[in-house]
Amino acid sequence: MPGRIEDYAVIGDLQTAALVGRDGSIDWLCLPRFDSPACFAALLHDDSAGHWRMAPVAGGPATRRRYQDDTLILETEWDTPDGTVRVIDYMPPRGKAADVVRMVEGLSGAVPMRMDLTLRFDYGKVVPWVRRTGPDLGAIAGPDAVWLRTDIDLHGENRTTVAEFTVRAGERIPFVLTYQLSHLPRPQPVDAERALADTERFWRDWIGRCDYDGRWPDAVRRSLLTLKALTYAPTGGILAAATTSLPEQWGGPRNWDYRYCWLRDATFTLQALLGTGYVAEAKAWREWLLRAVAGDPADLQIMYGLDGTRRLPEYELDWLRGYEGASPVRVGNGAADQLQLDVWGEVLESLHLARESSITATDTAWDLQRALLEHLEGNWRLPDNSLWEVRGPRRHFVHSKVLAWTGFDCAIRAVEQHGLAGSADRWRAVRDEIHAEVCAKGFDTDRNTFTQSYGSRGLDAATLLIPRVGFLPASDPRVIGTVDAVRNELCEDGFVLRYRPETEGVDGLPGTEGAFLACTFWLVDALDAIGRRTEAEQLFERLLDLRNDVGLLAEEYDPATGRHMGNTPQAFSMVGLVNSARQLSGTTTRTSADATQQHTGRR
């Protein structure tokens, strides 16, 4: 059975990622890309949907686990009555093929070990043919082939490949699993020791470029490494998370596929990367963005595939029970076809941010921004699905309008501060109109808080972002009132819900969900911005305590059970950690909000 969501660590090669449980089982792996069908899908069913366990014969959770320094090399150790053993898991930088290496190292005594390898292609549906070919074991079905190379004897048990062996102190026994399209020749397996050194060098070089010198450096570096692991290197696209359908509600049906590039999530990620020295990643993201959104601005999508693919049809995998029975398991994401007005603002903000930093402007980027503004000018009055991608009726969401305001604000500053050509006067008029409308229709004067949508009684954690984008200064009583309202009415045990789903049935789904970790980081930032530093720090420390043993956060947290919920590891959450740490450390924040504050003398 799959472990708790917080039991999983991630390893990856910037094209895909595997989740490794505390019991030594890889329960999630899509090959060859993040968004390919999984060949290990036990996470969403049970072992029979594919898994790869490497553990002492007695099994059970590891005694301790850690990443090797600032790398994505995972070390899992068991102390057993026979001795101590370590399994080192890593995915070397991608050469011709994807490799997962599991190196079993004896630390003391002689530990009896067992390996169980159950390969099931197409998310657990397809049982491959498994054949021994020379030193390799090949598993082939349809387009896919996976090869395992090891010197240890293998045998079959109930459609699972098993190895039983003993590892003695000082021994290192490698198992190398390699993916290849089935019509291609058997791949050259990597040399496990050399691949380990290459993997270590890659991550050390990468983290060596980090210029973060604020507080909580270990937590920030681990978050950055995780964000990098969620980057699809061939295109520069940034994923929301490595998994699909980990539930936001025990038992479902709030289960979604996050293995795609959301413009919103990636914009937040870009801010975290740019603010910590990773300009190359930000450049790659901008180029990805320009390619993905090329064409008619009316066709801008809120999310794309890793390579900019537009069609992401949502369907259900009815042969999988779902994580702890939370069904359905979904692949694809219907939110791709939604109208979410904030995305125009976020794209404009991220391109502005790139311009404000050391990334050279291009004519193409400015042409795109002008086209997006033109579209937004004609459409900002429409109701939409909001950043929360509600599946209920469209509404006039306050956050969507605020982000539309942000889009115009960024463009006006591009003209005023960078001398770019544009209709600043017209944009100023639209910006002011949006501002006036939001303050008139989206603010509840009786309760002194912004609401989720015009005329609604519901609250929305996204209104915590109002001071961040510079829509109102943090000192404005309406901002302070909103922060207090969120703190008092939208928190469970101090952790922030996105909104209360039960209010007005806003998202069109049954049931409720956990606390949203990104929103809780936004509360940290907002508390700090309004001068309540101690409260902000206390909440931040509580969030740090929610990280699992290897520093990862899923999307949500359930205060009732103390468990992670939702897809993992999630960029939104890890970004929240980085940005809050930066803010509480007083490190320079290159967001447009800062530019606004400098520009208008606010704060």
Q: Residue 587 carries which DSSP code? A: -
CB of 345 to ligand LLGJG24Q, least distance (A): 14
Nearest by Cα to 405 from 378, 383, 427: 427
Query: Mask 505-544, x = binds ligand LLGJG24Q (CB under 6 A)?
Result: --x-------------------------------------
Burial label, 500 (beta-carbon count in 10 A; 0-12, 13-18, 19+)? middle
CB of 357 to ligand LLGJG24Q, least distance (A): 23
Cβ–Cβ under 8 Å, residues 73 and 196 = yes
Q: Which is nearer to ligand LLGJG24Q, 242 or 387 (CB)?
A: 387
What would the two tokens of residue 124 be? Answer: 């657990």
- The amino acid that residue 520 corresponds to is T
Residue 384 lies near ligand LLGJG24Q (rule: CB under 6 A): no
Q: Which is nearer to ligand LLGJG24Q, 355 or 395 (CB)?
A: 395
Q: Which of 203, 388, 408, 540 binds ligand LLGJG24Q (CB under 6 A)?
A: 388
**Phi, psi (rounded to 5 degrees) for 567:** -65, 150
Residue 389 lies near ligand LLGJG24Q (rule: CB under 6 A): yes
Q: Which stretch binds ligand LLGJG24Q (CB under 6 A): 107-115, 129-137, 163-171, 382-390?
A: 382-390
Q: Which of 45, 120, 222, 264 binds ligand LLGJG24Q (CB under 6 A)?
A: 264
Q: Report the alpha-carbon distance of residue 76 to residue 47 in Å, rounded.
A: 20
CB of 387 to ligand LLGJG24Q, least distance (A): 5
Residue 34 lies near ligand LLGJG24Q (rule: CB under 6 A): no
Residue 392 lies near ligand LLGJG24Q (rule: CB under 6 A): no
What would the two tokens of residue 129 be? Answer: 């043919």
What would the two tokens of residue 398 be? Answer: 């306050």
Residue 387 lies near ligand LLGJG24Q (rule: CB under 6 A): yes
Q: Which of 240, 300, 410, 497 binds ligand LLGJG24Q (CB under 6 A)?
A: 240
Burial label, 601 (beta-carbon count in 10 A; 0-12, 13-18, 19+)? exposed
Q: What share of residues in the chain are helix, strand, coil (percent, to 5)? A: 35, 25, 40
> String of b and e for 149-185 (b: at least 16 CB within 10 Å)?
bbeeebeeeeebbbbebbbeeeeebbbbbbbbebeee
Q: Which is nearer to ligand LLGJG24Q, 25 or 570 (CB)?
A: 570
Nearest by Cα to 119 from 81, 91, 147, 83: 147
**Phi, psi (rounded to 5 degrees) for 76:** -115, 125
Task: Name every residue whose Cβ is closer than 8 Å to that of residue 50 and which is 6 or more positions away in sequence.
Answer: 29, 38, 39, 40, 41, 42, 118, 119, 120, 124
Q: Does the CA dihedral 125-127-128-134 come out positive or negative? A: positive
Residue 553 lies near ligand LLGJG24Q (rule: CB under 6 A): no
Contacts (CB under 6 A) with ligand LLGJG24Q, residues 471-490: none
Q: Which of 178, 267, 276, 333 binds ligand LLGJG24Q (CB under 6 A)?
A: 333
Residue 342 lies near ligand LLGJG24Q (rule: CB under 6 A): no
What would the two tokens of residue 545 be? Answer: 């305590």
Q: Which stretch binds ligand LLGJG24Q (CB under 6 A): 93-101, 121-129, 327-335, 355-363?
A: 327-335
Neighbours of 109 (CB within 10 A): 16
What would the two tokens of residue 504 be? Answer: 């007005």
Residue 572 lies near ligand LLGJG24Q (rule: CB under 6 A): yes
Q: Which of 147, 256, 268, 288 binds ligand LLGJG24Q (CB under 6 A)?
A: 256
- The angle subtended at Cα 120 by Cα 114 and Cα 123, nearest 5°, is 125
Q: Which stretch binds ligand LLGJG24Q (CB under 6 A): 56-64, 114-122, 329-337, 447-455?
A: 329-337
Residue 265 lies near ligand LLGJG24Q (rule: CB under 6 A): yes
Q: Which is nearer to ligand LLGJG24Q, 167 or 303 (CB)?
A: 303
Residue 258 lies near ligand LLGJG24Q (rule: CB under 6 A): yes
Q: Report the alpha-carbon distance of residue 13 to residue 382 in Å, rounded.
A: 41
Q: Which stretch binds ligand LLGJG24Q (CB under 6 A): 30-38, 114-122, 333-341, 524-532?
A: 333-341
CB of 264 to ligand LLGJG24Q, least distance (A): 5
CB of 391 to ligand LLGJG24Q, least distance (A): 5
CB of 390 to ligand LLGJG24Q, least distance (A): 7
Q: Three-state SS for 22?
A: coil
Residue 395 lies near ligand LLGJG24Q (rule: CB under 6 A): no
Neighbours of 365 (CB within 10 A): 18
Say how many residues touch ligand LLGJG24Q, by CB under 6 A.
15
Q: Which is nearer to ligand LLGJG24Q, 397 or 471 (CB)?
A: 397
- Residue written as token pair 């999988």: 320
Partners of 139 in the beta sheet?
Answer: 130, 146
Residue 397 lies near ligand LLGJG24Q (rule: CB under 6 A): no
Please give the helix or strand (H or E) that residue 293 lies within, else none. Answer: helix 279-293
| Residues contributing to the site for ligand LLGJG24Q (CB under 6 A) | 240, 256, 258, 262, 264-265, 333-335, 387-389, 391, 507, 572
